[in-house]
């Protein structure tokens, strides 16, 4: 599976966990893993609202249009959607629900199935030419561009009147951070695709069966991580008499959901991967160019030199790391909560294989903040002058209630037998704390055996874990995500200890980011890779920082600091 570098990874990972659990309950573990990948693409689906005739506006979040109005939409995915026989983008479970409940006929303005870059290019052409549907989803840079060009409808009054209580609750579960960051000039010009800050925090995943076999302690410090990696490489943990196992998993992408080095750097109080932090004077600075990065790179360079990191990691992407995990050759990596679902086939290949999540190790005994980037990767917008701007909230209200609310039916509206119905919903947002809540309620039910408080989704997860505890290894991944000692047991402690650190910059890309960020990111990746592999000295980091500043970093920092001064 391709590594998920897109900023919506937190959301898509959360959605994938839910859908994968549904698939697992239907006995389809292959579709469970695929759900993680496809959920990333699904978040690119979008919608538009247009009225072919003037219709009297209703007074409530769920009141029905009479006569009906039409709502046109844009859909994107990396591959064409799967449908039941006779269904299509304009005739499916969601379109029928919208028409029955709201009197909204969903129409497709156009759709595109291909890479994200190609979709963005196609959307840019439409934006530049003014050939826009009334309601669509755009990337942050496009949001900023359209706002500056006066192409967007002010949604502020419509949010207050037409967003349901459940919709407002979802959009404010992070304290309203992402919603507030969506305001431009005091106006809500777009609805943020809310992501979860806690779901994207890094964890340390370690093969616990190898720890026990080699009589190693659980990792608490970076020294422990180094010792464990050394043992996993040099002490033949798989008992095959060959030196063919790897210590710490690293890919050529460096950052991301898995394997990402953010957790390793966090242990040194360093914050790369697009993070903005406050310096000692309170000004915002870019995490990847701070001195703590150099210290962490020095340790990674030592580990690589000692063979504790794959000597060919520079040519291997996340898919290759997945292969190492599934084949039972990798013993440890930093990754997000969903990763056991990513390589769950490894448990089929070797039932003895077991991974457990651990809190990030420390270097100095001080608490380690776990980084989380700003999770909003897209915005739903309504073009200026659209006849029914309020329709976007009505669509969202129905989507949230039927997909995730008290009346939700996941097998009808979300996923069933490998068909992912949630992709047809033009606007759908995961509650940021939903997965943590699922863990807490499922864990409580596992202890009490009382499932009366569980939703359909939670009951599905509960049943899967119970089956695993009874010897069915197909549910291993769900136990490692939601179970009593799973990923969310660690994340729950992150939250309770106030250790989740969200980037300090929480707005759309600045003008200079649009000009320079991709070049700066490439520069950072090349320098970090070379230093780890010993192709450049540790002091090359200092030259990188100087070059970063000259190549646009200083310009971006000034814009970020100017933004911070207005907060």
Which of the pair, 49 or 511, is modelled with greater confidence?
Answer: 511
How far apart CA 354 and CA 374 sit, in angstroms, is: 32
Looking at residues 144-160, what average pLDDT do you find? 94
At 54 the pLDDT is: 42
Q: Which stretch of 99-103, 212-216, 291-295, 420-424 has the lowest confidence by average pLDDT?
A: 420-424
At 26 the pLDDT is: 37
The per-residue pLDDT of the chain, averaged, comes to 88
Dihedral angle sign, alpha carbons of residues 445, 448, 451, 452: negative
Q: What is the pLDDT of residues 158-174, one digit of tens each?
A: 999 999 999 999 999 88
At 502 the pLDDT is: 93
284 touches 276 (CB < 8 A): yes
At 53 the pLDDT is: 38
The share of the chain scoring above pLDDT 70, in percent, equals 90
How far apart CA 224 and CA 355 sit, in angstroms, is: 17
CATH fold of 201-372+499-567, please? Answer: D-Maltodextrin-Binding Protein; domain 2 (3.40.190)
On the question of pLDDT at 22 being above 90, the answer is no
Map residue 87 onto helix, strand or coil.
coil
Cis peptide before 259 (omega within 30 of 0): yes
In the chain, ranges of CATH 3.40.190.10 domains = 9-196+376-424, 201-372+499-567
At 472 the pLDDT is: 95
**Which DSSP string do the residues of 131-179 spell out, in sequence order?**
---SEEEE-HHHHHHHHHTT-B---HHHHHHHS-HHHHHHHTTTSSHHH
Q: Which stretch of 54-63, 358-367, 505-514 has the lowest confidence by average pLDDT?
A: 54-63
How far apart CA 339 and CA 318 sit, in angstroms, is: 11
At 237 the pLDDT is: 97
At 177 the pLDDT is: 85
Confidence class of residue 386 from pLDDT cuts 50, 70 and 90? very high
Looking at residues 254-275, what average pLDDT do you find? 96
How far apart CA 499 and CA 367 sit, in angstroms, is: 8
Q: Which stretch of 127-131, 260-264, 332-336 has the lowest confidence by average pLDDT?
A: 127-131
On the question of pLDDT at 380 being above 50, the answer is yes
At 477 the pLDDT is: 96
Confidence class of residue 55 from pLDDT cuts 50, 70 and 90? very low
Give the list of residues 6+ apart from residue 311 with CB closer than 8 angstroms, or none.
304
193 touches 429 (CB < 8 A): yes
Q: What is the pLDDT of residues 481-535, one digit of tens each?
A: 999 999 999 999 999 999 999 999 988 788 899 899 999 999 999 999 999 999 9
At 495 the pLDDT is: 95
At 198 the pLDDT is: 94
Confidence class of residue 14 from pLDDT cuts 50, 70 and 90? very low
Class of the CATH-defined domain 9-196+376-424: alpha beta
Q: Which stretch of 49-53, 118-122, 164-168, 272-276 has the lowest confidence by average pLDDT?
A: 49-53
Q: What are phi and psi of 502, to 5 degrees?
A: -90, 140
Which of the pair, 102 or 71, is modelled with greater confidence?
Answer: 102
Give the list of residues 6+ apart from residue 96 with CB closer than 8 angstroms, or none.
none
Looking at residues 132-155, what average pLDDT do you find? 92
Give the list of residues 6+ apart from residue 287 with CB closer than 8 angstroms, or none.
270, 271, 272, 273, 275, 276, 277, 293, 371
At 270 the pLDDT is: 98
User: In which residue are the tokens 């596992």 written?
Assistant: 446
Looking at residues 558-567, what average pLDDT do you find? 90
Confidence class of residue 249 from pLDDT cuts 50, 70 and 90? very high
Cis peptide before 67 (omega within 30 of 0): yes
Q: What is the pLDDT of residues 279-316, one digit of tens each?
A: 999 999 999 999 999 999 999 999 999 999 999 999 99
At 301 the pLDDT is: 98
Q: In a 10 Å sphere around its CB, with 0-12 CB exposed, 13-18 middle and 19+ buried, how is residue 66 labelled? A: exposed
R_g over Cα of the chain = 24
Angle 537-523-529 (CA atoms, 0-180°, nearest 5)? 45
Q: What are phi and psi of 72, to 5 degrees?
A: -95, 155
At 41 the pLDDT is: 31
N-terminal to C-terminal alpha carbon distance within the chain: 40
Q: Which of 327, 319, 333, 330 is nearest to 347 (CA)?
A: 327
């Amino acid at each position: 599976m391709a590594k998920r570098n897109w900023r919506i990874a937190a959301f898509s990972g959360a959605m994938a966990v839910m859908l994968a659990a549904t698939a697992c309950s239907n006995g389809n573990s292959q579709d469970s893993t695929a759900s993680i990948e496809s959920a990333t693409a699904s978040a690119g689906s979008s919608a538009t609202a247009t009225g072919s005739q003037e219709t009297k506006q209703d007074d409530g979040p769920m009141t029905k249009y009479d006569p009906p109005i039409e709502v046109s939409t844009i859909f994107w995915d990396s591959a064409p959607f799967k449908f039941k026989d006779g269904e299509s983008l304009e005739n499916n479970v969601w379109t029928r629900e919208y028409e029955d409940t709201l009197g909204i006929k969903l129409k497709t303005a156009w759709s595109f199935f291909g890479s994200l870059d190609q979709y963005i290019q196609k959307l840019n052409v439409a934006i530049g030419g003014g050939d826009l549907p009334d309601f669509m989803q755009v990337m942050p840079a496009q949001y900023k561009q359209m706002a500056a060009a006066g192409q967007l409808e002010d949604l502020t009054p419509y949010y207050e009147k037409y967003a349901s209580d459940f919709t407002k609750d979802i959009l404010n579960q992070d304290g309203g951070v992402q919603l507030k960051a969506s305001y431009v000039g005091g106006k809500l010009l777009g609805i943020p695709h809310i992501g979860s800050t806690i779901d994207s925090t890094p964890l340390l995943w370690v093969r616990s069966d190898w720890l026990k076999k080699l009589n190693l302690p659980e990792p608490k410090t970076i020294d422990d991580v180094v010792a464990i990696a050394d043992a996993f490489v040099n002490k033949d943990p798989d008992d095959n008499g060959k030196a063919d196992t790897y210590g710490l998993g690293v890919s050529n992408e460096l950052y991301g959901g898995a394997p990402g080095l953010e957790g390793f750097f966090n242990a040194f109080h360093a914050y790369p991967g697009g993070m903005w932090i406050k310096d000692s004077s309170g000004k915002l600075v870019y995490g990847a160019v701070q001195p703590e990065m150099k210290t962490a790179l020095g340790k990674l360079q030592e580990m690589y030199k000692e063979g504790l990191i794959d000597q060919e990691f520079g040519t291997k992407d996340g898919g290759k790391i997945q292969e190492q995990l599934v084949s039972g050759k990798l013993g440890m990596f930093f990754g997000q909560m969903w990763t056991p679902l990513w390589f769950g086939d490894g448990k089929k290949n070797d039932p003895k294989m077991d991974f457990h999540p651990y809190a990030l190790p420390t270097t100095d005994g001080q608490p380690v903040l776990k980084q989380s980037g700003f999770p909003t990767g897209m915005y739903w917008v309504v073009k200026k002058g659209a006849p029914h701007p309020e329709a976007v909230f009505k669509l969202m209200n129905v989507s949230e209630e039927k997909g995730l609310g008290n009346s939700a039916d996941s097998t009808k509206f979300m996923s069933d037998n490998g068909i992912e119905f949630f992709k047809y919903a033009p606007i759908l947002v995961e509650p940021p704390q939903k997965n943590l809540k699922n863990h807490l309620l499922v864990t409580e039910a596992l202890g009490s055996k009382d499932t009366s408080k569980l939703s359909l989704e939670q009951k599905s997860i509960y049943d899967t874990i119970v089956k695993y505890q009874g010897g069915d290894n197909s549910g291993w991944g769900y136990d490692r995500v939601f179970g009593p000692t799973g990923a969310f047991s660690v994340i729950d402690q992150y939250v309770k200890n106030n250790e989740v650190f969200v980037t300090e910059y929480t707005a759309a890309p600045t003008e200079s980011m649009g000009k320079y960020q991709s070049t700066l990111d490439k520069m950072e990746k090349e320098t970090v890779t070379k230093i780890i592999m010993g192709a450049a000295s540790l002091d090359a980091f200092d030259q990188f920082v100087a070059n970063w500043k000259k190549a646009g970093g200083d310009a971006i920092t000034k814009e970020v600091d100017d933004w911070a001064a207005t907060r």
